[in-house]
Structure 1
Amino acid sequence: MGYRSEVGLALTRHGVETLENRLASPEIGEEVRKRIREFLDHADKHAKDEEIGHEGWYWDYLKWYADDPAHFPEVDFIEKLMSVLPYEDFRFIRIGEDYDDTEMRGGFWENPFDMELGRYISFSEAV
């Protein structure tokens, strides 16, 4: 089964351009390129701000193993992309199955997809 996460990624227009340029690089083999395209194309949710060019993706119940590039080249690609993008060009949120397993990176706070991490307390009074 494996450990699963919810993952959200929002990119500015510059972030999307960088993604496309890196994806077109001859350093990426055709098979890996195909896996990355399928990964992006089959997100549970995908949105694009047509006017400005920002894009956002959301995956639910996803294996996000950043330390296993051989088996998860799409995850490795996104991790490397985030490592070269300026802080303000992306927003990444990952929520793992464990309560304390939450990861947030990037400064694209005012993204048009309202992608944010929310927390709340549920309380019901016994009757």
Structure 2
Amino acid sequence: MAVDALGRPLKLILTPGQRGDAPLAPALLGGLSPRRVLADKAYDSNAIRAMVAAMGAEAVIPCNPTRKQLIVYDFEAYKMRNTVERCFNKLKHFRRIATRFDRRAAHFLGFLQIAAALLWMR
């Protein structure tokens, strides 16, 4: 999920639970023009950092512990990454999302989009 600085969802992509999020970063960031991209250690790859730099944005991504050459990031800016987690929490206030009643992914994604629209209207 991509969110703006106020924690409102901009883009949602639904993936299977066992799949990593990092391979979907290009699709998630496509069409957006952020000043900064805040992400967790799972997104620490040279390809993602290069893509963010090509967008003209600053990559605020802490290094994975297995990285041989550490890359410095803005720790103060990284503190704002909890906006994404807070957005997930707001979405989980909708019981249907929290309990995952929908069996089909398309139905679940549809309700996620409705809930995201409701968050924008608040």
Q: TM-score range by the shorter chain?
A: under 0.3
More strand by share: 1
More helix by share: 2
Please, what TM-score do these two structures have when normalized by structure 1?
0.26
Please, what TM-score do these two structures have when normalized by structure 2?
0.27
The answer to which structure, 1 or 2, has the higher relative contact order (CA under 8 A, 6+ apart) is 1
